[in-house]
Structure 1
Amino acid sequence: GGAAALGVAGGGEKAGGFAPYYGDEPMDFKINTEEIMTSLKSVNGQLESLISPDGSRKHPARNCRDLKFCHPELQSGEYWVDPNQGCKLDAIKVFCNMETGETCIHASPRNVPQKNWWR
């Protein structure tokens, strides 16, 4: 009678006894090592592409000089750069002179009409 009179019987108990958080048994957390390793490999790959970009559209370099520094074996040619290193969607295709590390931007438009400027 005394416990019921104090209101203890209804709030903290379930049909089989006290609620599970009152027990002293630790929760059984299953650690999925394979899932953790997969996540770590993914993060490692993303960090590697930030530290050492390859000049692809997916992993643009900041400029050709940086690309040459990270990959001295690359030949001169067209690569993707993202000078502001923001969103990769605004990366542009440029010509990289790997002998000098120069970044050459393609002219747009290709031709400029000649005019008489001295009139």
Structure 2
Amino acid sequence: MSHDLFEAAKAAMAFSHSPYSKFPVGAAIRADDGKIYTGANIENLSFPQGWCAEPTAIGCMIMGGGKRIVEMAVIAEKLPLCPPCGGCRQKIAEFADKSTPIYLCDEVGVKKTMTLEQMLPGSFETDLLG
């Protein structure tokens, strides 16, 4: 992973709207078009109807013209590591390959790298629908 993806996730965290959890989270995606797309968690009072940082970044990627996630970085301000939640893992799986690296970061840099397959083994896949 190049340092720019980590820096983009860290910068995205500043746009978090997290008045309830008090845990700002940022995510950055490098897409198949070579661009970096970012997102932050956006909470609202009707839990769990807010947006995690990862799907916010995915939405920006799709709206920006990207189609596939090449790599992703996730960072949280007050947590040592912040892996995507289960729902986010499935959302990531819709736009990534099983070998897509996901970097879990702290304020200094990448602390752990996992593939999507390691994070979500046996994920629901659209080809199972026939």
TM-score, normalization by structure 2: 0.27
| Structure with a larger share of its residues in strand | 2
TM-score, normalization by structure 1: 0.29
Higher relative contact order (CA 8 A, sep 6+): 2
